[in-house]
Amino acid sequence: MFTRMLKLRLLNAVAPVYFFMATAVTNILHFFFFIPTIFPYPETSLMVSSTLHTVLVLFLMFNALGNYIMTIIYPAESANETLIPVCSPHCSDKVDAHYLLNGRHFCKLCKKIILKRDHHCFFTGNCIGNKNMRYFLMFCIYTSCTCLYSLVLGVAFLTVEYSISFENPLTFLTLLPLSVCSFFMGTISGLQLFLVLMLYVWLGIGLVCAGFCSQQMLLVARGQTWCQMQRGELVRNCSNWRANLKHVFGTRWILGLILPVQTEECSEDADGQKQD
């Protein structure tokens, strides 16, 4: 268990660094390579397209980073409990958290008691629970949109700059191995190989975030958490899916969809009364 906890703590420190590095690289590629190359001429139509793409990239990046920061600013720990609990012999969470009563967990990575804990996110370095679930979901949505949009612009850049055709559906499947072989043979540059690698990184992150967000949305609509699903617990939830979504996204949920702002004050006492 000590070795596994050490790996989890290392991942908890490395994952945020990876996220910020990937974000910085994506921004550099967008504003210094993709947009100037795809829209090179100062014509009116191209200037409008370039401006629209720039605004869209900034909007997606702003919301992804904004919700990422809000997930950290509004942690899910309880302000009323500071004692470190002792794990019971029947506890099923042996690695990263102890299950407590009334929807509370003690996370051994955060070293805090978490209200209605869903899971520990290594990319944010904290637990996801009742207070920051909305920001985490919006972070996943906008990260997925940013990655998939970057994939589209990356394909357009490779087509314009290196004359790579993606008309054949098999091109994307064979692009990476062929690019690696061509790089070691000296026929393509390191920048081209790096761009090809980033295409697969964006595709992977975009699909993973989209799939994980879809699963989390389903759990939220059911009034269930990831911890409950792992333990195989059935939730007796009297509220319908609309009420469950409103509880997470707040009353001003439309504003929360387009801006990383707080949409509703979270009541710790009310959440503490709900059974996990």
For the chain, how many structural domains are there in total? Answer: 1
Active site residues per annotation: 121
pLDDT tens for each residue of 81-118: 655 555 555 555 555 666 666 667 888 888 888 888 88
Within a 10 A sphere around the Cβ of 221, how many other Cβ atoms? 16
Q: How confident is the model at residue 23, as a pLDDT?
A: 95
- Which pair of tokens denotes residue 14? 């490395």
Cβ neighbors of 158 (< 8 A, separation 6 or more) are 164, 166, 192, 195, 196, 199
Distance from C-alpha of 21 to C-alpha of 238, rounded to nearest angstrom: 44
How far out from the chain centre does Cα 182 lie?
Answer: 33
Instruction: Answer for the pair 115, 272: CB distance below 8 angstroms, yes or no.
Output: yes
pLDDT at residue 112, rounded to an integer: 83
According to the model, what pLDDT value does residue 100 have? 67
Domain contains 76 = yes
- Name the residue range of residue 149's domain: 12-80+132-272
Give the CA angle between residues 117, 92, 11 to the nearest 5°: 60
Which residues, given as ranges, of the chain have pLDDT below 50? 269-276
**For residue 92, is it within any domain?**
no
What is the model's pLDDT at position 147?
97
Exposure string of 235-259, with b = 16+ CB inside 10 Å and e = fewer, is eeeeeeeeebbebbbbeeeeebeee
In a domain, 22, yes or no: yes
pLDDT at 83: 58
> Domain for residue 123, yes or no?
no
227 found inside a domain: yes
